Amino acid sequence: AFLVECCYQSTATSSCMFLTGAAQNYFVLKLASGVGIDVPSPFKTWMMAAFGPGLASFILSPLLAYYLLAPEDKKTPDAPKAANSRLVDMGPMKDSEKVFGAVIMAMVVLWATSSSNGIKPVVTALGGLAVLIMSGVLTWNDCAKNDKAWGTFVSFACLVGLAGQLNNLGIVKWVASSITAKIIGAGLTPVPAFFVIVLAYWIVHYLFASQVAHVSALFQPFLLMLVQTGTPGIPAVFTL
C-alpha cells in the first residue's frame, strides 16, 4: 500500500508540474484564454508556478504515506539486485526505442519553446507522430487500435466545443456573476472570498469521475469568480 500510494502521488504531482504532463493542462489554458486571461510563455510560466508546490508534494507525500501506511518490510536489500537482473534480461536499448526517446525529447523542447519558435503544440504533436510512423516505430494499425487515445481525442473536441458555446452564450459569466454577487453581498473581502471559492472548487472535484470533466464544467465559472472578487488573473488560473 505504501509503494502504491507513493507511485500514485508522484505521478499526480509530476503531471501537474509540467504543461505537457497531463491532457487537461493545455485544456486549462484554452479555457482561461476563452475568458480573456492569456498566460505568457505557457511552458515556462506553468513550470515556475508549479515548482514550489510540486517540490513540497514530492517531499511530504512519502513522509505522510510512511506514517499513515507504514510498510511491513522496511528493508529490502535484494531489491537493487532484482532490478539489475531485470535490466540484464531486457538487454540493450533497441534502435526503435532510441528513435522514440529522441522524438519525445525533441517534442518536449519544441513544446517548451513554442512561444518563441512559433510552432503550435498541436503541430509538434502531429509532427512527432508522423516521424514515429515513418520510422517504423509505430504503425497505423497501432494508432488505430489505441481506442483510449481516440476516445480522449473525440471527448476533448466535444468538451472544448461545449465550453466555448457556454462562454459565447454568456452562461459562464452569468453563473459566475450571480454567485460573485452573493459572495460580495455576504461581506467577504478578497482574501476570505479566495479561500471560500478555492475550497468549494476542490471539494466539488470529488463529485466528478475525472479531472477533465471537472475542469470542463467548473474551471471557467470559478476562475471568473476569483477574478471578480479581487484575485489577479494568472494567479487565479494556477490556483485552480
pLDDT tens sequence across 77-98: 777 888 888 888 887 888 888 8
What does the alpha-carbon distance between residue 159 and residue 165 come to, in Å, rounded to a whole number? 10
Give the confidence band of 212 by pLDDT, cuts at 50, 70, 90. confident
Q: The pTM is what?
A: 0.74
Cα–Cα distance list, 187 to 55, 177, 198, 233 (Å)? 36, 16, 17, 22
Contact 163, 216 (CB under 8 A): yes
Distance from C-alpha of 47 to C-alpha of 32, rounded to nearest angstrom: 17
Q: Report percent pLDDT > 90 for the chain.
A: 2
**181, 208, 175: which is closest to 193 by C-alpha?**
181
* pLDDT above 70: residue 37: yes
Give the CA radius of gyration of the chain: 22
In this predicted model, what pLDDT tens digit does every residue of 123-149 receive, in sequence order? 888 899 899 899 888 888 888 888 887
Q: Where are the domains of the chain?
A: 2-91+146-239, 93-144
As a whole number, the mean pLDDT across the chain is 83
- Cβ atoms 65, 10 nearer than 8 A: no
Do 227 and 236 form a contact (C-beta atoms < 8 A)? Answer: yes
Residues 163, 167, 170, 173, CA torsion sign: positive
209 pLDDT more than 70: no
Compute the C-alpha angle 216/148/209, nearest 5°.
40
Q: Compute the average pLDDT of residues 155-172.
A: 76
